[in-house]
Amino acid sequence: MTARCGLLWDEKIVFSRFLEGCGLACEQVTPHLLAAPFYRGRFAALIIPTGFANPSYSRLLPALRASSGRIRRFIEGGGRLLVFGAGIDRADAYDWMPFPMTYRHQRQKGALECAASHWCSTLFSGYDQGSIECDGFFPVHGGEAVARIDGEAVLIHAGIGNGEIIATTIHEYPSRVFLNEFCQDSRETFL
């Protein structure tokens, strides 16, 4: 089993320390590396933090768009992708994804309505599900809505080829239980 994940972001952030504290081998993948045709990272999972589409926080969105085919092949080959809220009200923030998806930026706190039987509901294990913060919702998506706040989808799951995508607007670090399952695999897939 391998627990190797790629964290897509412009520079080192505290989130990488959290991932390493969970026992994961975490490699930072910058926008330049992601878009470079010669780059070949090997990971079980990729993680894109909150705010990736907001130019005040990150320059990642153009690289995601330029690398959309590479990301799709990674997922189809068995890789996993965890992507958080875009952090800005842009309906096209997820146009690089392999299925239709729109995002509405709206900070809110509310009670989580969740399909508890779905394995990715462990993302917020240990949190007070009666009062979860999120930074928006997905009015249009091509996956299964696993969790909602006030009827709006805040956690989406979709299988693509041999891999899967989880998109969420929940504004909390994922639980260690979730990360250890999500980032563990018997194989690594090339990005």
pLDDT at 167: 97
Mean pLDDT of the chain: 92
pLDDT over threshold 90, residue 3 = no
pLDDT at 174 over 90: yes
For residue 186, is pLDDT > 70?
Answer: no
pLDDT class of 176 with cuts at 50, 70, 90: very high
Q: Give the per-residue pLDDT at 188.
A: 66
Phi, psi angles (nearest 5°) of residue 17: -65, -40
At residue 47, φ and ψ (nearest 5 deg) are -130, 130
- pLDDT band of residue 1 (cuts 50, 70, 90) is low
Residue 37 confidence (pLDDT) above 80: yes
Q: What is the mean pLDDT of residues 53-57?
A: 95
Report pLDDT digits (tens) over 137-153: 999 999 999 999 999 99
Q: What mean pLDDT do residues 49-60 have?
A: 95
Judged against a pLDDT cut of 90, whether residue 79 lies above it is answered with yes
User: Based on the structure, what is the number of domains in the chain?
Assistant: 1
Q: Is the pLDDT assigned to residue 2 strictly greater than 70?
A: no
Q: Please, which residues have CB within 8 angstroms of residue 107's CB and are 6 or more apart in sequence? A: 133, 134, 135, 136, 171
User: What CATH number has the domain bearing residue 120?
Assistant: 3.40.50.880
How confident is residue 115, by pLDDT bands cut at 50, 70 and 90? confident
Structural domain of 156: 4-190
Rounded to an integer, what distance in angstroms lies between the CA atom of residue 118 and that of residue 120? Answer: 6
What is the spatial distance between Cα 60 and Cα 184, in angstroms, rounded to a whole number?
25
Report the alpha-carbon distance of residue 79 to residue 71 in Å, rounded.
Answer: 9
Comparing 2-6, 31-35, 49-53, 102-106, which segment has the lowest mean pLDDT? 2-6
Question: What letter represents residue 175's amino acid?
Answer: S
Average pLDDT estimate for 12-18? 92
Percent of the chain topping pLDDT 70: 97
List, in sequence order, every residue forming a beta bridge with 104; answer none if it has no partner: 137
